[in-house]
Every structure is written in structure tokens, then in C-alpha cells.
Chain A
């Protein structure tokens, strides 16, 4: 693959450090692909091409001056359009924020700038990272690069599509019920919802405070580890931020998963929300890869998926209404229909009901951590392959069970990686879940799996 835009962060950073690739050349390769192909995907809502060129030139000058360089130095990246960017419009896809220009960068953006990253622009999302896909909001929804008639899922839709399409090697998204992992799964890339509190949410427009996570998406798990090294850390300005040591995530990628015990929530997959035969076959094949690498697999029992959904969604609808109540009362017509439907009933949730849902969350989180203490990792599909990009009944948010939401409720780290392709050429996905703050083991397993399988060799053609 000769176009530098297809290089992973790990590959590009080695070439940049060796002065075999200029950040300017890499940035121009990404901007060129975006300019010629993004009209097919609508993955960007704002391009910052001139800023990117300026940052790339500065990065190149630092290389030539022999300055010490981090792994992200001179690497292009993009951000879901809910991360505040000083002086750059941040809309959350909403007509309500059409003219919103933050004065200060989000924590994550500060870290990416300090690491020498090159900002390409802002990515399409679902309105306020919750309602979608929508055609009645500020921008059209992003499309899936594996098949443009299919959805890239949501809500970090444009972020995942941009990485899979070779527009950017890195992006950051947010995940309240699966919004990093779902798009990563649909677009066949790697995406990590870190442990709750490991990455600051300061400057990320909230969806639901108690379940929001910020995290990285990239083509490989190794690249996700590089990004985590940059953005993880304690932020006193985020009340949910954890003050814990940050390990060396790259050093954790040993390729060795021998002896790890992998749990599988069989009742979820066979009874409560049965997999399609093709997805089950792909999942079984992924487990066989881990067995072949020396891990053991055994069934585990977790509380019902339905309970996780009920707790999370009751809490979320109340918190969302709290955030958007003023606008719902005064200018409801400015919301997209999907988001409005999904949050408006939050105004009728009583305090007692919200707190009972928080009590249920306590039970579920305890049950989750008890099971996780008995295994090293939990594995299950992230989701079924991507569906068509078409309007979905907004009520589906309330009625459709998710394999991702339980780990927002528990706060556990959860990574989605590509685990093959179906007959239509759409990616299958594997979700790897770890103990709290053991994101390193999750990344180790994802990296080992990717290196033992051929799925990283295939890119979508546009």
C-alpha cells in the first residue's frame, strides 16, 4: 500500500522519526483523500486544512531540529464534533450549536496538541451523540466505507468511517452506551471505551454524565494504545476523573495471551439476544484463535442484559432532559426528531425513579466486578454487522438490547476489533472486556488477536 494515508500511527511515527516520511507529506496525503473522496462518506463536518498544514510544517521543523519526539508527533488525527476545539466550531451536529465556537480546548485536544498531533478536522456524529441517524440536523449522517448504503453506526460515526477509509490514522470519540465500539465494529477498526474515569471528559459535550467516556479509535489496537498513552491521565477539572497510575500501554502489547482465562456470557448470546448464525460462527472462530494462543475459555453468568439497559436508559433519559430541558421548553423545533423523541420523556421521570435506577446500577456494577474478578477477560461480539443507513424508529433506543451498554454501566474497559467479514463484505466484530483499570490487558489481547489474524490486511475501496 503506497499511499502514506494508509500507514498506521506506529508505522508512520517510525518513518517520521527516521526522517523517511515528512509530517507534511503524510498530512497532504490525508487531506488529498478527504478532498477527493469524503463527498462519498460525509465523515467530516469541518475541515481544518490550513491549520493542519501549519501544524505539519512545525512538526517537520521539529524533526529536522532533532527535537525529542513522541509517537504522535506529526501524526494527523480528527475529533468527533463534540470535543471542544478553541476557535473552531463545535456543533454536536445540532442546529442548536450551529454557531458554537468554544474558547478552550477539551482535555483530550490539549493532550493531542501537546503530543504533536496534526488536527485535520471534526467528524460527523449523531445529534448530541444520542439521536440518529438523522437527516433533519445540521449535517447529513456519515456513511459506511465498506458499503455506502450501510450505516457506520453511531454515534462516533464519522470518526470510524474516516479511519477505515484511510482519511486519518487516528480519531477520538465518545461512548455512553456503545458509541465508540459500535462504529468501530461497523467500520472494521479498533475502538476502545476506556475504564470510566481514565480519560477526562472535560470539554466533551455531555450525553449522560454518569455513563460518558472519551476514547480512541484507529485502524489497529497498537495505534489505540499509542493514543491512550497520550490522552489517559487524571484531570482535576473532571469530577469523574480517576487519579491512578498510567501504565505503559505499548509495553503491554507482548503478543502473549497464554494462560488468560476468557469468560463468555453465554445466556446473553444464546437466549436473551441470540446471535445470527454467521455472527456466532465468526465469534466461535475468534475464540478458537485465543485457544490456539494458549488462553482458556469458559462460560460465565451475568445479570440480564435487560437490567443493564433499563438502569442505563432510565438514568440517561433523566440526565439528557436535565441538559436539554431549557431548549426543549423554548425551541423544541431545533432538535432533530430522533433526539427529541429519545429525551423528551426524561422530563416526566421522577427523582425517585432516577435514584432507583442508580441503585440498580450499584447492584449491576457489583455483579459485573464479581464475575470479572474470576476471569481475566470477557469476550462477546460487539454487535451484528452494519445495517442499512436509513431512518430507524427512534423508539428502537428503548426496545433494542445492546451488548455494549453493560460495560458503560459497569465502567469496565471494552475494546472492539475486527473479526472477519460476512458474505456481503461487511465487518464482524469482537468485543474484549477487562477488569476496571486493566485496559492494558484488554489492549494486549486485541493486539495479539489482530496479529494472529489477516483482518488488518483488507481496506474498503471507495
Chain B
């Protein structure tokens, strides 16, 4: 993770996410994103290539329901 982005950078990221927010909501986003960045910054990223995420695909879960 890089350093916390500037407000201009957050505006750009928000627009990229389809969020064209009025100023009041933009301030909410800037503050909330600061907290989210802090959380993400604590998550370890140096891992073996094969480390699986917890949410894996189990194809049998999507078989049609039996009548």
C-alpha cells in the first residue's frame, strides 16, 4: 500500500468508481477512506503465490435445485 492519497487523488479514484459526489458526501468519503486505508495497510501482503483466499469456488453449490 502507498501513502494515503491526497484529496484530489481520492476525487479521481471516486470518479473512477462512478462516484461523482456533492462536496458534503465527498468529505465523508475522504474521512472514511482514511480509515479503510489504515485497515488495509495492516493486512499482510508478502505471501507465497499459492495462498488461497477464504472465498473459494465450489461448483456443486450452483447445481440446479432438485424438483
Contacts and interface: CB of A to CB of B under 8 A. Distances in A.
Interface of A: 210, 236-237, 239-240, 306-307, 309-311, 313-314, 317, 325, 328-329, 332, 337, 340-342, 344-349, 353, 355-362, 365, 394-395, 398-399
A348 B47 contact: no
Given A310-B39, A347-B17, A357-B43, A362 B52 contact: yes
Contacts of B35: 345, 395, 398-399
A287 B21 CA distance: 51
Contacts of A239: 58, 61-62
A361 B43 contact: no
Contacts of B65: 236-237
Contacts of A395: 31-32, 35
Nearest to B47: A359
B54 A342 contact: no
Given A344-B19, A349-B40, A332 B25 contact: yes
Give chain B's interface residue range (CB within 8 Å of chain A). 35 or more
A362 B40 contact: no
A309 B21 CA distance: 28
B28 A341 contact: yes
Interface string B35-58: 110111011110100011111001
Contact of B54 (A210, A236, A398): A210
A347 B14 contact: yes
A311 B43 contact: yes
Contacts of A359: 47, 51-54
B21 A236 contact: no
Contacts of A325: 17-18
Nearest to A335: B25
A348 B44 contact: no
Given A239-B62, A344-B28, A358-B53, A317 B36 contact: yes
Contact of A345 (B29, B52, B63): B29
B21 to A, nearest CB: 7
A210 B25 CA distance: 28
A329 B43 contact: no
